[in-house]
Amino acid sequence: MMCEMCGQEKLHLYKAIVEGSLLSVCDKCKNFGNVISVEKPKLEEQKKVKKPEPKFVDEEKQEVVVDDFAKKIKEAREKMALTQEQMAKSIAEKESIIHKIESNLMVPPMSLIKKLEQFLRIKLIEEFDSNKRPVKDFSLKDETVTIGDLIRIKKK
């Protein structure tokens, strides 16, 4: 470790405020500033530090955007007799974003979807329950079969 004032290598450095700057300094240079004493927490205090508990997300129900969101947005905008530019200004978005959404070139973030829902007064978000997926007919050679599908079939 090197002293940040004189550049000498030292084993032990002090934290000191020298002319408004916090520096790591050696024994000789510590007199040019005010030494800050940093106490290490005792071993008992270190053990008491709690780690944050993991937050579990309810993966059973999720909000998803409806499949035909682009069509619904365009129809609702046209029903209100607005151009893409007028709607974009009304919701404080770029016209190019509205064009990409209506052309189905972009899936908007949830914050924008909620803004569009409120402005256009349409439903664009649906709740998806992964436990209530319909059990489809399939063959075991199908690549889209999941373990969950097999469990649901076994329960029936």
If we measure between CA atoms, which residue out of 28, 39, 38, 36 comes closest to residue 6? 28
Domain at 61-126: CATH code: 1.10.260.40
For residue 44, what pLDDT is reported? 56
Residue pair 125/117 in contact (Cβ under 8 Å)? The answer is yes
- The one-letter amino acid code at 64 reads V
Q: Where along the chain do the CATH 1.10.260.40 domains lie?
A: 61-126
pTM strictly above 0.75? no
Residue 45 tokens read as 């205090």
- One digit per residue, pLDDT tens: the chain, 156 residues? 788 888 888 888 888 888 888 888 888 888 888 888 655 555 555 555 555 555 544 455 678 888 899 999 999 999 999 999 999 999 999 999 999 999 999 889 999 999 999 999 999 988 876 555 554 555 555 566 677 777 776 665
- The one-letter amino acid code at 84 reads Q
